[in-house]
Amino acid sequence: MMRIYCVKDYDELSRAAANRIAAQVTLKPDSVLGVATGSTPVGMYENLVRMYESGDLDFSEVTTVNLDEYKGLGKESSQSYVYYMEEKLFSKVNLNRERTFVPDGTELDSEKACREYDEILAQVGPADIQVLGIGHDGHIGFNEPADYFPDGTHCVALDEMTIQANKRFFESEKDVPRESYTMGIGAIMRAKTILLLVSGEEKAGILKKALFGPVTPRVPASILQFHQDVVVIGDEGALKEITE
Ligand code: GLP
């Protein structure tokens, strides 16, 4: 089943998303949270940190698994996803660091890095809830448009569109890594609940395609139509083409 919640703006989206995660952790303190990076969930993390600081949320038994990481970047690089997570969440709440997992971008042997991450995912079990953003080309995690839906963690060459979209975080375009490790579509689909967050008009077209177009690996997020429990939180801009 897919439920689509329309909120007014980014601020409301961030609060609604944090409330959904908080409800999950409150009901099941040892939840496995699949977490995402990118600009969309930033406000959600801010709200979660606030709830923790006010004593309303306890992360001590929570496990987190991240979707992806740039190949070649580690925690020293301010553009790595592990750095992002440290900054936005890990260092600000009482998560047990031994239960926060991000693919190891510093492992340059792709096969090894992916195999190790799949072993971790198998050990911690499917995410209770997986937070997702969506890329302009319909990617989830870093699962770019492809000929098939990959099951496990794999190394991907980033699409030109993704490199262009992500260069804003780097000094120059040439600094954007060309490859990354990402959880596969299979692992994402095994999450019990999917929380897809989408903000802004620039995502309206791809969101409509993903939710109501044909299910195809050319639009990786379209596979979510086959998931049994998807919660989409979109703001007015993002849902523009769906609600009109
Ligand atoms: C990035 C990430 C995704 C993210 C997406 C959208 O490249 N790998 O996990 O969901 O692109 O990012 P944003 O939220 O900044 O638009």
Q: Angle CA(225)–CA(240)–CA(145) in degrees, nearest 5?
A: 45
**Domain 2-194+201-243 fold:** Rossmann fold (3.40.50)
Task: Give residue-wise pLDDT tens across range 160-173.
Answer: 888 998 898 888 89
Residue 177 CB–ligand 1 contact under 6 Å: no
| Confidence at residue 88, expressed as pLDDT on a 0 to 100 scale | 98
- Residue 130's alpha-carbon distances to 72, 73, 106, in angstroms, are 25, 23, 24
Residue 12, pLDDT > 90, answer yes
Across residues 181-193, what is the average pLDDT?
98
Residue 167 structure tokens: 């260069």
Judge whether 188 and 141 are in contact, CB under 8 Å.
yes
Mutate to test the pocket of ligand 1, among 134, 137, 179, 235 (most ligand atoms within 8 A of CB): 134
Ligand 1, atom 9, residue with closest C-alpha = 141
- Paired with 2 in beta bridges are 230
- Find the 11 Cα to ligand 1 centroid distance in Å: 18
Atom in ligand 1 nearest the alpha carbon of residue 68: 8
Task: Give residue-wise pLDDT tens across range 77-116.
Answer: 999 999 999 999 999 999 999 999 999 999 999 999 999 9
**pTM of structure:** 0.96
| Confidence at residue 101, expressed as pLDDT on a 0 to 100 scale | 98
